[in-house]
Amino acid sequence: MKRVTKLLLPIAAAALAGTSAHAQSRADVSVKIEMDQAGPVIAPEIYGQFAEDLGRGIYDGIWVGPDSKIPNTNGYRTDVMQAIQKLHPPVIRWPGGCFADQYDWRDGIGPRDKRPKRINYTWGGVTYDNSFGTNEFMNYSEALGAEAYIAGNMGSLPPHAMQQWIEYITADGDTTLAKERRANGRDKPWKNLKYFGVGNESWGCGGNMKPEYAADLHRRYATFVWKPDEAPPITKVASGANVDDYRWTETMMKDASNMMDALSLHYYTFPGSWEDKGPATGFAEDKWASTLKHAEFMDELIRKHGAIMDKYDPKKRIGLYVDEWGTWYDQEPGSHPGFLYQQNTLRDAEVAALTLNIFHRHTDRVKMANIAQMVNVLQAMILTRGDKMLLTPTYYVFDMYQPFMGATPLKAEVNGPDYVNGDISLNMVDVSAARGKDGKLYLALVNTDPDRAAHVVTGMSGSATGRILTGPAMDTHNTFDAPNTIHPVAYRGTSDGGKLAFDLPAKSIAVVAVDQR
Ligand code: AHR
């Protein structure tokens, strides 16, 4: 899972850069919303989640089992479930990730005490008992009102396994697999299996394939990913590129685009280089700047992969699914090697907001995205320890951004200074605008400068109310002892010469509904 990116930034130069020159001044920024330049609707699935059988993501995070002392609902942690429910996740991807290509779905069905125990070869070599399997996942996503996105095993099982898995989940009538599902406690087929991944990271942990071979194998496996009752049909997702591997996208599109409905893209954000990511907390400003700059790279990736897809799919039938994205730092000291457990700070909230804003600008092609991952892994919504739980700054961004699900994006033209740190510069203020399903105009405003406030003047008159997320330090975060250190608070726009304006503190994210006059 080595990540390659050409965006290796000069950390030393950045570290030397001072920030205090701007610390007291306020930057003037203007934003113009083009009401007549609307893009295709923001697919709610851009707000998708990813829950892999990795570390404490499933076991401990979502599932504790019905006999646990931790309060649970049929084995699912009640606190986590209720918190996730409030985000209205449109889709959840499971069981991997890399884990998907080692997973045999048959291990995870039937009486729990009879399920085989296996080694998680991909993540930490730990033993798992398969107590969270297909029924548990499908019931969970159904209870949350989420579509299910199952990642199938193309790396180490035959295509027949995918077909049988789909039949177990979706077949009614008298087949042996439908009967087996009934015997396992589920009478009717689940209706929310909407997406099926044909392998994962086939260029790496999913089989270390060359793109030509992966495209051929995709054709073979995808042949068996269907069901006779096509309502609703299954969306076939091909395993896509790692970061800027454009040859991968070119080959998959050239050789297999007629056999897929979506192509994935994986991109993780980290400061500096993959070998020297640094900690999730206690970092210096150069790491803040480098992380946000890397987040911005998502825009270029979507444009370039999208341009290749356009060549083979000019009508944009095939979605680009960024089905793994998020921050990746050194794991927390003392946590299990291979569990990818990391804290989550205001920096992560900025990455989430900037990335969601980028997705809003590419709604013609980006039809799904799944942040990695939902609980206790990488850029999580929620962290747990024993019976304690905390909501991360990233959770709050997803919460604040909910009005953008299904909204119609509008072009926002921002004029203002850059945030500069050493050799790194990026837009100081980033704005996303959209007309919500409720008819209201929503704005998301992000100030990337950790020291300098911004005064943002719009071309509109009216008022605006919403919430803002900020904190005193770049790494402001919640802990199990102080779980309410950072959370959104009420926020409203001001007026400047009769125009709606916003005073954005340094390092802040605001989402408001505008009442235009
Ligand atoms: O999200 C963690 C891992 O990152 C996934 O298992 C894999 O697909 C990617 O390399």
Identify the pLDDT of residue 230: 66
Catalytic (active site) residue 332: no
Q: Are residues 91 and 187 in the same domain?
A: yes
Structurally, how many domains does the chain consist of?
Answer: 2
Q: Are residues 30 and 53 in the same domain?
A: no
User: End of a domain among 388, 404, 420?
Assistant: 404
Q: How far apart are CA 442 and CA 404, in angstroms?
A: 8
Cβ count near 461 (within 10 Å): 12
Q: Are residues 372 and 238 in the same domain?
A: yes
CB 286 near ligand 1, within 6 Å: no
Q: Are residues 367 and 441 in the same domain?
A: no
Identify the pLDDT of residue 17: 32
Which atom of ligand 1 lies at the shortest distance from residue 99's CA?
6
Q: Are residues 384 and 502 in the same domain?
A: no
Distance 98 CA to ligand 1 centre (A): 5
The order of strands in the sheet holding 453-458 is 489-492, 462-470, 508-516, 441-447, 429-435, 408-415, 26-38, 453-458, 499-504, 494-496
Distance 174 CA to ligand 1 centre (A): 38
Token digits of residue 44: 């709610």
CB 147 near ligand 1, within 6 Å: no
Candidate of 324, 329, 341, 370 to mutate for ligand 1, largest count of ligand atoms within 8 Å of Cβ:
324
Asked if pLDDT for residue 499 goes beyond 60, the answer is yes
Q: How far apart are CA 202 and CA 4, in angstroms?
A: 16
Catalytic (active site) residue 52: no
Each residue's pLDDT tens digit, 372-390: 999 999 999 999 999 999 9
Domain at 69, CATH number: 3.20.20.80
Q: Are residues 86 and 145 in the same domain?
A: yes
CB 370 near ligand 1, within 6 Å: no
Percent of the chain with pLDDT over 70: 95
Each residue's pLDDT tens digit, 106-126: 999 999 999 999 999 999 999
Q: Are residues 28 and 123 in the same domain?
A: no
Give how far Cα 175 sits from Cα of 31, 72, 141, 178, Å.
60, 33, 24, 5
Q: Are residues 51 and 135 in the same domain?
A: yes
Asked if pLDDT for residue 4 goes beyond 50, the answer is no
Token digits of residue 80: 């986590």
Identify the pLDDT of residue 231: 66
Q: What is the pTM of this model?
A: 0.95
Candidate of 50, 94, 102, 205 to mutate for ligand 1, largest count of ligand atoms within 8 Å of Cβ:
205
270: containing domain: 46-404
Which of the four pLDDT bands, split at 50, 70 and 90, describes residue 39? confident
Token digits of residue 105: 């779905």
Kindly name the residue from 201, 285, 296, 350 that is annotated as catalytic. Answer: 201
User: End of a domain among 339, 369, 404?
Assistant: 404
Q: 262 CB contacts (<8 Å, ≥6 apart)?
A: 195, 235, 236, 237, 238, 318, 319, 320, 321, 367, 368
Token digits of residue 478: 């919640």
Kindly name the residue from 147, 167, 296, 324 that is annotated as catalytic. Answer: 324
Identify the pLDDT of residue 229: 76
Percent of the chain with pLDDT over 90: 91
CB 96 near ligand 1, within 6 Å: yes
